[in-house]
Amino acid sequence: MRDITVVDQLPAQAVFVRASNSGVYDPATHTVTWKWEKWGFQSVIDSTVTVKYPDGSVAPTDTVTNKASITASVQNEDRTMTKNTEFTHGFAERKSVGTIAKSGGSSNYSVRKGSTPWRLYGTNTGNTTLHFHWEDTLPCTWSTQEAKAVGDACDKPSSVGPYHFAIYSRSGTETSSGWTVEYWTNKGNHKVENFTASKMFTLPDGEWITRYTVDTDALPGHSPSVSLHGRISEDVPTEPADFASRYDPALPPEKALQLRGL
């Protein structure tokens, strides 16, 4: 197929918010239009449009109909095809239900120069989009508390680059808003990046992330899950100076290993 045009006629009560894949909104016709030069055989083009309904514009008993059409020319033929479709839906009272969690490391022990993930995950079991926000300060020597004490001035965090932002479970908004990662470094720099897929990235030599935040909007029924992987610094000391205050005689390290079957 070639010269593809998709037009989405939005319901009258809907207020346009955004469209993925460069969809263009026309307020005069209240439509969103997408255009592509070609459409490969058996390939999928997934585009979305986000709208909102202001308070009082609809009632729980109301229904609205969204109509869309697609027009395309057949490759190597002087022929045009058109198809129309529509979808009618109702409304329900907004129900915001979800969970959010953060964990460091994985089920295995981490070693110097080895990779270690910081896992961020949640669930959206309600019927409306939820915004998820995670924030973490990386350990400077042994704990996040020590890192917070020195702030962004930590010369070398326990977890250093290269970094890998890995999306394990999608939020459902990867084609629109995606995942926003904001981070601060030991050199006093600050950067904001947007991810729509997993990606490796590095910082200049001697520059490491000391604190970061991750934000995403998750659609209903989605369980967003990502990990920020780093590498355990080879400069992490063998034991902290105040080891005695951290040692639990009821559960020494060797006993913990035995309980894990290691």
- The DSSP letter of residue 98 is E
Give the other-Cβ count within 10 Å of 160's Cβ. Answer: 22
Predicted pLDDT of residue 101? 94
Q: Which residues contact 78 (CB under 8 A, 6 or more apart)?
A: none
Query: Quick check: 82 and 88 in contact, CB under 8 A?
Result: no
Whether the model pTM is above 0.85: no
pLDDT, position 148: 65
Give the HSE-up count for residue 12: Cα atoms under 13 Å, Cβ half-sphere. 4
Helix (H, G, I), strand (E, B) or coil at 5: strand
Residues of the chain short of pLDDT 50, as ranges, are: 260, 262
Q: What is the pLDDT of residues 204-229, one digit of tens each?
A: 999 999 889 999 999 999 999 999 99
pLDDT at 249: 66
